[in-house]
Structure 1
């Protein structure tokens, strides 16, 4: 894959391992192999494996490659890191992205847990997501926006501190006033409490601007400034960053 893997943590205080690739193709398959390897290990040790995925355009090719992995996908539970308050089949929903990119080929038999459902209130959706989250995730795949957000935790979000402090794996959030949220203001998001039990954390980013942003994120300890810092500040597994130009 021609990935340059730094075996020593980038920062000793917060374990962060960088995996850098020379091309999009190498990055795609390198990240897909990393995810499938953890799932394969989990399936050897447990009856079922659990995978949490983020939305956005960045991870789509990784999910498409992952769908071809030779796993017993019938024993894999796929859920979301976060979701916009939209119907599951809405073109802008993360559910739709996962269905179209991952739940095909070999992965068509995976069990998918959509956060939103027709006729369910946002409070009911959060309760259901928290119930499912009692099973710890094997892999959590995170992304990072240009504003330093991850999941649906945005800088200057009204209830960001409450979300960061919550003991629940998922919370409803209001992203009013957050440019990075676009027009999708009502959302449900994973919290640090939901991230902490994960066996493996991956952050998928591409481009020089994201690399420079990551450097700034790693320089500080305040998740209110850059919520993406929860990826390495939250106690638990080290963070593996997969990056390509």
Structure 2
């Protein structure tokens, strides 16, 4: 049933199954189209999954990796999702994959929306596999409750694939309030979606989000739009 959670006793087991879900989705895309797109989230949760994928022999040279969202910081900054992906996923076997950055040299993310939309749109029509996370405020991607640009990110007018977010006043966003994110339609296009959650707090938030208003807990948008294409994996 859509929205149900696959629960595992250990994070290692959950990560192993998550890798199987990702690789199966990419394999289907390669068989059908000869190419595959894979957009990933940052944070502390996916690191071990990235390590496992990187060490797996696969047709990575035919996979294009992108980001679900990005903080508007240098790629060398410790909070950069690009830095995480380059150091943990795009290594070993998976080093053969292509990569599309979100961060540009523009001062603000809104100045780069048109350029990054042009880069991302061909890979999100549809997106083959997406890895999502979720914060304790019910956000996914950079869809923070109360953020500037949230309504447009979920239901964009004009540019469809990426949007700028101003997360000033959103506690979970921390000091990096200028963001770029995939839009609601881009996330919802994914043929295979995986959400990896660790800890009892995340379990409680997810259950609340399933009946929340998407503007209050935006992960609800992804849950509803992805439906049975979303696999949620959880471990304590």
Q: TM-score, normalised by structure 2?
A: 0.92
* Other-structure match for 2:9: 22
C-alpha distance in structure 2 between counterparts of 1:155 and 1:119, whole Å:
25
Structural RMSD (CA) = 1.6
Q: 2:14·2:233 contact (CA, 8 Å) conserved in 1?
A: yes
C-alpha distance in structure 2 between counterparts of 1:115 and 1:58, whole Å:
20
Q: Does 1:244 align with 2:235?
A: yes
Q: Secondary structure at the match of 1:133?
A: helix
- Structure of greater relative contact order (alpha carbons < 8 Å, 6+ residues apart): 2
Question: How far 1:118 sits from its partner (Å)?
Answer: 3.3
* Other-structure match for 1:213: 205
* Other-structure match for 2:151: 161
Q: Which moved more, 1:230-239 or 1:71-80?
A: 230-239
The partner residue of 1:113 within 100, 109, 118 is 100
- Alpha-carbon distance change, 119 to 162 in structure 1, aligned in 2, over 3 angstroms: closer
* Other-structure match for 2:122: 134
- Alpha-carbon distance change, 43 to 124 in structure 1, aligned in 2, over 3 angstroms: farther
Matches within 5 A, 1:190-201: 190-201=182-193
Q: Secondary structure at the match of 1:16?
A: coil
Q: TM-score, normalised by structure 1?
A: 0.89
Q: Secondary structure at the match of 1:198?
A: coil
Q: Secondary structure at the match of 1:137?
A: coil
Q: 1:33·1:66 contact (CA, 8 Å) conserved in 2?
A: no
Q: 1:144·1:228 contact (CA, 8 Å) conserved in 2?
A: yes
Q: Secondary structure at the match of 1:219?
A: coil
Q: 2:108·2:178 contact (CA, 8 Å) conserved in 1?
A: no
- Alpha-carbon distance change, 128 to 17 in structure 1, aligned in 2, over 3 angstroms: farther
Q: Does 1:43 align with 2:30?
A: yes
The structure with the largest helix share of the pair is: 2
List structure 1 segments (4+ residues) > 6 angstroms apart after TM superposition.
none
Q: Report the count of equivalent residues.
A: 231
* Other-structure match for 1:72: 59
Unaligned stretches of 5+ in structure 1?
1-8, 10-14
Matches within 5 A, 1:165-204: 165-167=155-157, 168-204=160-196
- Alpha-carbon distance change, 121 to 18 in structure 1, aligned in 2, over 3 angstroms: same
